[in-house]
């Protein structure tokens, strides 16, 4: 496949040569790509890489997002989901209450529970263990993809257990994978400015390293579009890439487009479509050792997700049912989507929809 718009720029030519020869891109290459306005060349290059890795297949899953509690001790500047104990709208569900919620929305095709929540210091670590145990007992066939690395770090603090011990306790009751959240931007300077008063960069990476050593395959994210520099975004990707070199434990990288706190915020308060597509494409080019880049329709919308499938993304996420965190922060997108709509969306981009499980095993190919 040829690049349609040849770039006169020698650095772009050098990047094209590197990508085509399977050579790793540098920090300087990544920053250059962010500075370039040649989205078509960047997108086509990312598409070449995605096709090389996955062919025309684009993956999705039937999943449900669950949130046991929104009470949180952290006060991250970008979060509109958290509440203080006793504040209006604050809640902490028991395992039985969550089962009742799931039963109202469940259907037999659901393969994964995606479970995240606040860092609630008013309940013991055992509460978080029991929450998973209750779900696994009632829905044994559904994979538990639960908690962020930041939550695991929080559990370690409140329980006095090591990361390994925390993960082992959770694995005993059915934990099979970690969610990718809590990464935000992997820069200590950024975390200080944005009051990310939870796991720092090394702790986030260390939780995933420990999970991988225990045999868990995990997901990882990057929340972009606030105060971070383009260099910090590339360094974030390089932190992930280095850990993947070490453990090969990440299944997918998920760029998350920052949402404004106010749902009525205008378009200038949001990342542009150009920025969203560029970030997905650059992620595909930088993260040569990760199989999948996800286009997260909750943050970028279903139509932009469809375009992203031609610019490096090979995962269209899942049905979700009722997403809360991005919507609390002003996402304008649907809270969930049907399997039929996901299939239509993927086929509309000239791709082959593949229903998967949490670990990218193929359940059904929709030729």
Q: By the 8 A CB rule, do 184 and 220 touch?
A: no
Rounded-to-integer distance, Cα 122 and Cα 130, Å: 15
| CB-based burial, 3-18: b 16+ in 10 Å, e otherwise | beeebeeeebeebbeb
Rounded-to-integer distance, Cα 331 and Cα 113, Å: 21
Residue 140 is given by DSSP the state: T
Rounded-to-integer distance, Cα 189 and Cα 228, Å: 9
Burial of 213 per CB tally in 10 Å (0-12, 13-18, 19+): middle
**Has 129 been labeled as part of a binding site?**
no
First to last CA, the chain: 23
**Has 76 been labeled as part of a binding site?**
yes
Rounded-to-integer distance, Cα 42 and Cα 36, Å: 9
Rounded-to-integer distance, Cα 303 and Cα 345, Å: 8
| CB-based burial, 249-280: b 16+ in 10 Å, e otherwise | bbbbbbbbbbbbeeeeeeeeebbebebbbbbb
Tokens of 26: 């540098």
Burial of 361 per CB tally in 10 Å (0-12, 13-18, 19+): exposed
96 phi and psi angles, rounded to 5 deg: -65, -40
Tokens of 233: 């975004």
**Has 79 been labeled as part of a binding site?**
yes
Mention every residue, 6+ apart, whose C-beta is less than 8 A from residue 11.
29, 32
Rounded-to-integer distance, Cα 314 and Cα 49, Å: 10
Binding annotation for [4Fe-4S] cluster: 72, 76, 79
Binding-site residue positions: 72, 76, 79
């Amino acid at each position: 496949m040829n690049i349609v718009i040849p770039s006169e720029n020698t650095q772009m030519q050098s990047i094209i040569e590197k990508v085509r020869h399977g050579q790793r891109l540098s920090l300087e290459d990544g920053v250059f790509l962010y500075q370039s306005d040649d989205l078509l060349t960047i997108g086509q290059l990312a598409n070449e890489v995605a096709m090389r890795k996955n062919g025309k297949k684009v993956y999705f899953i039937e999943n449900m997002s669950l949130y046991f509690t929104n009470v949180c001790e952290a006060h991250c500047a970008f979060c509109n989901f958290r509440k203080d104990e006793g504040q209006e709208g604050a809640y902490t569900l028991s395992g039985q209450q969550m089962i009742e919620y799931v039963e109202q929305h469940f259907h037999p095709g659901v393969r994964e529970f995606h479970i995240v929540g606040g860092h609630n210091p008013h309940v013991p670590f055992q509460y978080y263990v029991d929450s998973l145990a209750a779900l696994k007992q009632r829905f044994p066939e559904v994979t538990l993809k639960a908690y962020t690395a930041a939550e695991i770090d929080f559990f370690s603090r409140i329980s006095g257990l090591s990361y390994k011990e925390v993960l082992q306790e959770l694995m005993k009751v059915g934990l099979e994978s970690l969610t990718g959240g809590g990464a935000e931007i992997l820069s200590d300077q950024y975390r200080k400015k944005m009051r990310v008063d939870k796991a720092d960069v090394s702790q986030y990476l260390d939780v995933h390293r420990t999970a991988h050593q225990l045999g868990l395959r995990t997901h990882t994210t990057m929340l972009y579009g606030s105060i971070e520099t383009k260099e910090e975004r590339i360094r974030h990707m390089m932190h992930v890439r280095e850990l993947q070199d070490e453990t090969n434990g990440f299944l997918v990288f998920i760029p998350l487009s920052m949402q404004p706190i106010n749902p009525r915020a205008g378009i200038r308060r949001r990342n542009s479509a150009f920025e969203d597509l560029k970030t997905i494409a650059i992620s595909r080019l930088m993260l040569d050792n990760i199989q999948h880049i996800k286009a997260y329709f909750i943050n970028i919308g279903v139509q932009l997700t469809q375009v992203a499938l031609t610019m490096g993304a090979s995962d269209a996420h899942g049905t979700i049912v009722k997403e809360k965190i991005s919507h609390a922060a002003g996402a304008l997108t649907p809270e969930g989507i049907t399997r039929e709509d996901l299939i239509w969306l993927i086929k509309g981009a000239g791709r082959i929809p593949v229903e998967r499980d949490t670990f990218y095993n193929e359940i059904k190919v929709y030729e």
